[in-house]
Structure 1
Amino acid sequence: MTSHVAADLHARFALAQEVARGAGAVALAHFNAREQLVIETKADPQDVVSAADREVEALIRARIATAFSSDSVLGEEYGVSPGASDYTWVVDPIDGTSPFLNGMPTWCVSIAVLRGEEIVIGVIYVPCADETYAAAAGMGATLNGKTLKLDATRTIRNAVTGIGANHHVSPATVASIIEKLLDAGGSFIRNGSGALMLAYVAAGRLVGYYEPYMHAWDCMAGYCLVKEAGGWHHPFPVTGDGLTKGSPVLAAATGAVSDLRQIAGL
């Protein structure tokens, strides 16, 4: 990596962390006054969005535009803003909107950066826990400044796996995944935020995470975190319109990769 490229990466990494925490503070204020939020449904009654999601994404986009006006931005609420540089920011202002609106703490702000086709930055901030997960290519992963390194002895049988589900995937498919995992001696949780469960994989709290269909803004930051902590993730399509469409998402510590790939059929 040239010094120029390294400087570009460091500058964006610093901004991603700063913006995630600032956006998280705004989201937390909404969370603490959530009875006043206007809530809308999207394609499905369980797929909800609030004014907080839109306000937080607008704040993040404004900060990026001020600092790096030539970068592209892809966000869950406002889609793609094309740019001229090699960098693309991928943003989920509040991942886990359902827990957020129902008063549960398992939601987060997720910010990733691509350089070309490579995920080079991943930052996930969890306001209710004041936890900052941060990773950049070649720099490792940290949680509140402490280095994260995955334990290769952890498997689906001696640790917990995260499973995700949404209206894009049939109930029978989800039931089959859970059945296979339990048959193999595993156990699972689902906390309502795929991004946060991926952060938990990087932190060693979960040994792996699988969801049959996720969008880039849900998984990119978590993928960077898991990779930099020494784990593995299934590739996400980033060329053409791949970034704006969903894909299977799987990330795991090395000791769980083969079992979870078999369960997922990946």
Structure 2
Amino acid sequence: MNATAATAPLPSDDDAVAIRLAAAERIARAAGETASAFFARRADLVVEQKAAVQDLVSQADRQVETEIRDAVAALFPDDAILGEEHGAAAGTSGFRWVIDPIDGTSPFLTGQPNWCVSIALTDPDGIAAGVVHAPALGETYVARRGGGAFLNGRRLTVDPAWTITSANIAFGATNSAAPGPAGAFVTALYAEGGVMFRIGSGALMLCYVASGRLAGYFDPLINAYDCYAGNLAVLEAGGRVRFDGDDERQGPLWCGNDRILDDLVRLTATAGF
């Protein structure tokens, strides 16, 4: 036996994250190709309604998630997985993949380009890495804890001087939100000079904050698989995120720079959220 090989150090946790992040980007791009093929023939998809008109699932969602899960299991069989369509699978490595195969199913099914594949990687310290791949837009966001956030290789930075009037504010409420607080939030935002933005994909709206396309984002109720990868992009771009949920539980989310996040928390409290 080669003594050098026998005593070679095991990969560090950072190496393990880097290996998985590179794989996540490859897997997301491959999943994007599969989703794009469905997108091109979306009129033929069997579509089901989960709870509300904006909460839909299609054959594409399920097949794309299965493809992602199979790829992860083949490469990292000891990693846990949590996906929107097929639930949780246990693991022993300490890593967990949190997957939304098509975030923005409603835009996807109606022919809009604002949908994406979102893959996050968590470890005992939180969100370690994330990839948000938007095939129809030709954009891939990649973030790593302590390593920055990037759009197609370009580093992203949140402007610390922006206010809620510097750019639009994303609002993630669907028609499942109580209409009173939803209307009150929009009224309060406009009263302070802000303008509302919505495209139907929480992951992309988070990435738009990270990339400076939006000033901030409030969602009254969002899932981990919709936001983890985007949350890390905002944080690594120098922004702030407050998510009052976890892997298993939905929760409200606020993000932006320091001032914008505080203002959004204030406005939503005033609105009754």
TM-score after normalising by structure 2: 0.92
Alignment of 1:105-254 (within 5 A): 105-238=113-246, 243-254=247-258
C-alpha contact (below 8 Å) 2:223/2:245 kept by paired residues: no
Aligned residues: 261
Aligned partner letter, 1:174: A
Measure the CA separation in 2 of the matches of 1:155 and 1:264. 16
Post-superposition offset of 1:40: 0.7
C-alpha contact (below 8 Å) 2:243/2:251 kept by paired residues: no
Which deviations, in whole Å up to 9, do the C-alpha atoms of 1:113-165 show, x marking residues without a partner?
A: 11125111111000111100000111100000000011112111121110011
2:65 pairs with 1:61: no
TM-score after normalising by structure 1: 0.94
Post-superposition offset of 1:18: 0.8
Aligned partner letter, 2:186: I
The aligned residue for residue 261 of structure 2 is: 257
C-alpha contact (below 8 Å) 1:71/1:88 kept by paired residues: yes
Measure the CA separation in 2 of the matches of 1:210 and 1:28. 28
Post-superposition offset of 1:264: 2.4
Q: Which has the larger radius of gyration?
A: 2
Measure the CA separation in 1 of the matches of 2:55 and 2:25. 27
Post-superposition offset of 1:43: 1.6
**Are the structure 2 counterparts of residues 7 and 236 from structure 1 closer, same or farther at C-alpha, using a change threshold of 3 Å?**
farther
Measure the CA separation in 2 of the matches of 1:93 and 1:173. 30
Which residue, out of 80, 88, 92, partners 1:84? 92
Which deviates further from its counterpart, 44-53 or 162-171?
Answer: 162-171
Q: Which runs of 5 or more structure 2 residues have no equivalent in the other structure?
A: 1-9
SS in 2 for 1:77: coil
C-alpha contact (below 8 Å) 1:168/1:213 kept by paired residues: no
Post-superposition offset of 1:3: 5.8
**Are the structure 2 counterparts of residues 13 and 236 from structure 1 closer, same or farther at C-alpha, using a change threshold of 3 Å?**
farther
2:70 pairs with 1:70: no
Percent identity of paired positions between Structure 1 and Structure 2: 43
Post-superposition offset of 1:237: 3.7
Which deviations, in whole Å up to 9, do the C-alpha atoms of 1:228-255 show, x marking residues without a partner?
A: 00000004443xxxx2221001111234
Aligned partner letter, 1:153: A
Measure the CA separation in 2 of the matches of 1:211 and 1:237. 12
The aligned residue for residue 49 of structure 1 is: 57
SS in 1 for 2:163: coil
SS in 2 for 1:91: strand
Which residue, out of 9, 13, 18, partners 1:10? 18
C-alpha contact (below 8 Å) 1:216/1:236 kept by paired residues: no
Runs of 4+ in 1 over 2 A off after TM superposition: 235-238
Measure the CA separation in 1 of the matches of 2:11 and 2:55. 44
Which deviations, in whole Å up to 9, do the C-alpha atoms of 1:172-219 show, x marking residues without a partner?
A: 221111111111111111111111100101101001111100111111
C-alpha contact (below 8 Å) 2:222/2:252 kept by paired residues: yes
Alignment of 1:87-98 (within 5 A): 87-98=95-106
The aligned residue for residue 35 of structure 1 is: 43
C-alpha contact (below 8 Å) 1:232/1:253 kept by paired residues: yes
Which deviates further from its counterpart, 95-104 or 175-184?
Answer: 175-184
